[in-house]
A and B are shown apart, each in its own frame.
Chain A
Amino acid sequence: MPNPAAKVVLVIEDEPDIREGLAELLSDEGYQVRTAANGYEALDMLRREVPRPALILLDLMMPIMNGVKFLEYLRVQREDLTGIPVVVLTAAKNAELRDGAAAGRINKPIDIEELFTYLKKYCG
């Protein structure tokens, strides 16, 4: 049962097992989770859907619209969307990411404690 008061987390990840795994894990912790398989899908969702997510978990390597492109697009969206903190999930050690483009970065395989630290920080 979704808790209407729960904070919304948006997971953008093309790999279904990771996407669903994250969704399940966060739901179990009481978050409201939305998922998207690529940046394009996520932007579409953000424009249409309310409520606004408290945090976005973003994979970088994705087809159609990758993480870096998504961040560029997000910055030029409605004001309420541009402020959403984004934590990047990446398997690449040296992903090309501009400074300040993301609120944080988690290397894959994911360290769960690190993930929860970000969740607590941005979702209370």
Chain B
Amino acid sequence: MNDPSDRHDPFPGGELHGPEANRASAVLKVLLVGVGEREREALDAPLRLQGIDPVASDSCYETMKLLHHDPSFAVVILDAALPAMRSFALARLIRESECAQQTPMVVIVDPERTHAVSFAGQERAPVIVLSRPLDTDTAVGKFDSLLELARQRRLLSAEKAERSRLGAALRDSQLRYELVGAATRDAVYDWDLLTGSVYWNQAVCVEYGYPAAAMNSDYRWWCERIHPDDRRDILNQIDAFLSSHEMRWTGEYRFRKADGTYAYVFDRGYIVRDSDGKPIRIIGAMQDLTARKRAEEALRESEQHFRRGEERLERATRASHVGIWELDLQTTRIWRNEEHDHAFGYRHKVAEWTRDTFFAHLHPDDRERMRRVDTLALRGRDSFTNEFRVIWPDGSVHWMSASGKVHYDANHRPMKIVGTNQDITERKRIEEELREAVRARDEFLSVASHELKTPLTAIGLQAQIMKRSIARSGEASLPAGRISKLIEQLDRQVQRLTRVVDDMLDISRLATGKLTIHVERFDLTELTREVVERFAPQIAPLGANILVETPEPVPGCWDRFRIEQVLMNLLTNAARYGEGKPIGVSVRRVDAHAELRVRDYGRGIAAENQERIFQRFERIASQQEPGGLGLGLFIVRQILHLHGGSIRVESRLGHGAVFVVELPLAEPRR
């Protein structure tokens, strides 16, 4: 029973070892007290047959000491002829002792000296009397029966001891389970694989809400409470472990609590195996990880959220080129992201940035203003947005917008300014373009209104004149010459109105891509002569004459109506800006092109305006001067482009202007 291997068994109570009998016999001992030489020889053979090596004692004291310290003596053989003591007194002492009162005794007596062989306690264990000289056969028979008895007795008491030891161990282990459970809040279990029964500690009630009955349950009780999605996997894992030689198993799964919710558990089991390696028990503990899982989940989520937020911010600032900065008012150092430096014209972030660095990059004209803003911001205005110019390292000037917010310490002292900055040069340019477009449109509307109202005013006046004349002296009184003059004026103004409206329609067609050309073959020289002939009388009052130079016919495929429009436009401009000086028109052939030139000797066009005049709604003249719709040259250029041709102007201020039109002779391929 005191086998060292037992002492190290970590799981007492689970002991299912083989029969104990062999081990009991192995420790059977026989004590020979005062037995003489001859008798010893006679006993030697039967004892050796049983594998017993007898222990000898010659004194009463020694005998009691041996018996007291070693309970494994199965038989005490006592020689009645023991010299130094009275053998029966010793026998009585043995019977009354605690350690050996049940040990069988053999008393060897001399037949010639009769003794009453009786003493108290004899009923507790047999006392056998053998007479001298000892007969070996008789001794063997007696010994066998005594030893058998001893064995039976030993077995009985061993079982009893084992039972009580097991009981204590079981109580101990259960107590330990509870203590472990209380300390760790783990649900500790002991699963008997042979019976399928499972013992749980109280944690299964406390932590998972189950009634005490659950503490002694079946393994199926546990299986049923594993989340259906995890169950098969977990059971498979355990099966695999049981059939391997592994001792420890861990698994994570969801375990249903009494309230129906699931707990995330971490389960560690220790598999107890018998000497053949067959698994017989699993001892383990189920740890509730729900709170930790949730915390981890929450942490992961918030980390992800934060990371996503940061990534979003990073992407957003990169995509929108927004710089972020933070000015420490104590050190005047500025922390910032890369975009901040990009907006100042740096390809990569520069080493350090301070408030002085900022002012050094400002356009000199904006520096003072920004210093005032800086002071103002610190004097109670929390947040601000400013637009200013900065000078890039390459010397170019860029517009920047910066917004910031002042942060204060507990004593309301400004600590830092946090904000954003952005290059808004492009935005400024677009704004300027938009403003310009709006201005041009407004001017166009005003000019269009003037151009429409002028003929209407003339027509209105003529109507009034006739009306009043008739009212004064009747229809007959109007002189014929006057009527025809009025009608001529009316006709002219209606034509003028028509032209303005046509221009506006053309603009609308061009804007929507609906202006088309219809080509036919004709001679440009001929058309030019016709148009000039028609136009000359209109400008005669201005004192200007038109000099035409057309050395050869220049036939080609063009839209006759539209080319006529081009000619009219150029002649009208030449007359309008020619200051009454002669106008020159020439048509000739240059390579595969027809070239038309219309020249005036007026004020000329400054170089910076030479491209602008071909833009929509643009006129060089100021608004206080009449100058037409400002659509003419725009329309002209568009018409020529549709023909695959072009127009340009050559001019110097004060030296007049030449408009040069080039038209391909062949039909445009479209």
Chain A residues close to B by CB (< 8 Å): 14-18, 20-22, 24-25, 28-29, 60-63, 66-69, 89, 91-93, 108-110, 112
- A14–B468 Cα distance when bound, in Å, is 24
| B461 CB within 8 Å of chain A | yes
Contact A61:B489 (CB < 8 A) given known A108-B456, A109-B456: no
Contact A28:B472 (CB < 8 A) given known A18-B461, A22-B461, A91-B450: yes
15 contacts between A and B (CB under 8 A): A15-B458, A17-B458, A20-B489, A21-B489, A61-B623, A61-B625, A63-B625, A68-B624, A91-B449, A91-B450, A91-B454, A92-B446, A92-B623, A108-B453, A110-B457
- A109–B493 Cα distance when bound, in Å, is 13
Chain B residues close to A by CB (< 8 Å): 446, 449-450, 453-462, 464-465, 468-469, 472, 489, 492-493, 541, 623-626
Closest CB pairs A-B (n = 6): A21-B461, A91-B453, A17-B458, A66-B624, A108-B457, A109-B460
**Chain B residues with Cβ under 8 A from A60's Cβ?**
624
A18:B454 contact, CB within 8 angstroms: yes
B616 to chain A minimum Cβ distance, whole angstroms, is 20
B541:A110 contact, CB within 8 angstroms: no
B458:A28 contact, CB within 8 angstroms: no
Q: Which residue of B lies closest to A68 (CB)?
A: B624
B450:A17 contact, CB within 8 angstroms: no
Contact of B457 among A16, A18, A20, A63 (CB under 8 A): A18
B654 to chain A minimum Cβ distance, whole angstroms, is 16
**Chain A residues with Cβ under 8 A from B446's Cβ?**
92
Contact A21:B626 (CB < 8 A) given known A91-B449, A91-B454: no
**Chain A residues with Cβ under 8 A from B626's Cβ?**
14-15, 61-63
- A17–B456 Cα distance when bound, in Å, is 11
**Chain A residues with Cβ under 8 A from B624's Cβ?**
60-62, 66-69
- A25–B457 Cα distance when bound, in Å, is 13
Contact A16:B541 (CB < 8 A) given known A25-B465, A66-B624: yes
- A14–B472 Cα distance when bound, in Å, is 29
A39 to chain B minimum Cβ distance, whole angstroms, is 10
Q: Which residue of A lies closest to B450 (CB)?
A: A91
| Most interface-central of B453, B458, B492, B541 (chain A CB within 10 A) | B458
Q: Which residue of B lies closest to A63 (CB)?
A: B625
Contact of A28 among B456, B465, B625 (CB under 8 A): B465
B461:A61 contact, CB within 8 angstroms: no
**Chain A residues with Cβ under 8 A from B456's Cβ?**
108-109
- A25–B631 Cα distance when bound, in Å, is 34
- A43–B607 Cα distance when bound, in Å, is 33
B464:A25 contact, CB within 8 angstroms: yes
- A18–B461 Cα distance when bound, in Å, is 7
- A100–B450 Cα distance when bound, in Å, is 24
B621 to chain A minimum Cβ distance, whole angstroms, is 8
**Chain B residues with Cβ under 8 A from A108's Cβ?**
453-454, 456-457
- A104–B131 Cα distance when bound, in Å, is 173
For the complex with contacts A67-B624, A110-B461, 6 further pairs of A-B residues with Cβ separation under 8 Å are A15-B454, A21-B465, A62-B626, A89-B457, A92-B450, A108-B456
- A91–B453 Cα distance when bound, in Å, is 6
Contact A92:B449 (CB < 8 A) given known A24-B465, A110-B461: yes
- A112–B454 Cα distance when bound, in Å, is 15
A86 to chain B minimum Cβ distance, whole angstroms, is 16
- A100–B453 Cα distance when bound, in Å, is 25
- A91–B454 Cα distance when bound, in Å, is 7
A96 to chain B minimum Cβ distance, whole angstroms, is 8
- A78–B473 Cα distance when bound, in Å, is 42
**Chain A residues with Cβ under 8 A from B457's Cβ?**
15, 18, 89, 91, 108-110
- A68–B457 Cα distance when bound, in Å, is 20
- A118–B122 Cα distance when bound, in Å, is 166
B540 to chain A minimum Cβ distance, whole angstroms, is 12
B619 to chain A minimum Cβ distance, whole angstroms, is 12
Q: Which residue of B lies closest to A96 (CB)?
A: B624
**Chain B residues with Cβ under 8 A from A21's Cβ?**
458, 461-462, 465, 489
Q: Which residue of B lies closest to A27 (CB)?
A: B465
- A109–B455 Cα distance when bound, in Å, is 9
- A97–B305 Cα distance when bound, in Å, is 64
- A4–B625 Cα distance when bound, in Å, is 35
B450:A25 contact, CB within 8 angstroms: no
**Chain A residues with Cβ under 8 A from B623's Cβ?**
61, 92
**Chain B residues with Cβ under 8 A from A91's Cβ?**
449-450, 453-454, 457
- A18–B462 Cα distance when bound, in Å, is 9
A66 to chain B minimum Cβ distance, whole angstroms, is 4
Q: Which residue of B lies closest to A29 (CB)?
A: B468
**Chain A residues with Cβ under 8 A from B541's Cβ?**
16
- A89–B454 Cα distance when bound, in Å, is 11
A25:B468 contact, CB within 8 angstroms: yes
A106 to chain B minimum Cβ distance, whole angstroms, is 10
**Chain A residues with Cβ under 8 A from B464's Cβ?**
25, 112
A17:B489 contact, CB within 8 angstroms: yes
**Chain A residues with Cβ under 8 A from B454's Cβ?**
15, 18, 91, 108
**Chain A residues with Cβ under 8 A from B492's Cβ?**
17
A110:B460 contact, CB within 8 angstroms: yes
- A86–B468 Cα distance when bound, in Å, is 25
Q: Which residue of B lies closest to A28 (CB)?
A: B468
- A25–B472 Cα distance when bound, in Å, is 12
**Chain B residues with Cβ under 8 A from A29's Cβ?**
468
B453:A109 contact, CB within 8 angstroms: yes
B451 to chain A minimum Cβ distance, whole angstroms, is 8
B481 to chain A minimum Cβ distance, whole angstroms, is 13
**Chain B residues with Cβ under 8 A from A69's Cβ?**
624
**Chain A residues with Cβ under 8 A from B449's Cβ?**
91-93
**Chain B residues with Cβ under 8 A from A66's Cβ?**
624-625
- A24–B460 Cα distance when bound, in Å, is 13
Q: Which residue of A lies closest to B624 (CB)?
A: A66
Q: Which residue of B lies closest to A16 (CB)?
A: B541
**Chain B residues with Cβ under 8 A from A93's Cβ?**
449
Q: Which residue of A lies closest to B455 (CB)?
A: A17
**Chain A residues with Cβ under 8 A from B462's Cβ?**
17, 21
B506 to chain A minimum Cβ distance, whole angstroms, is 22
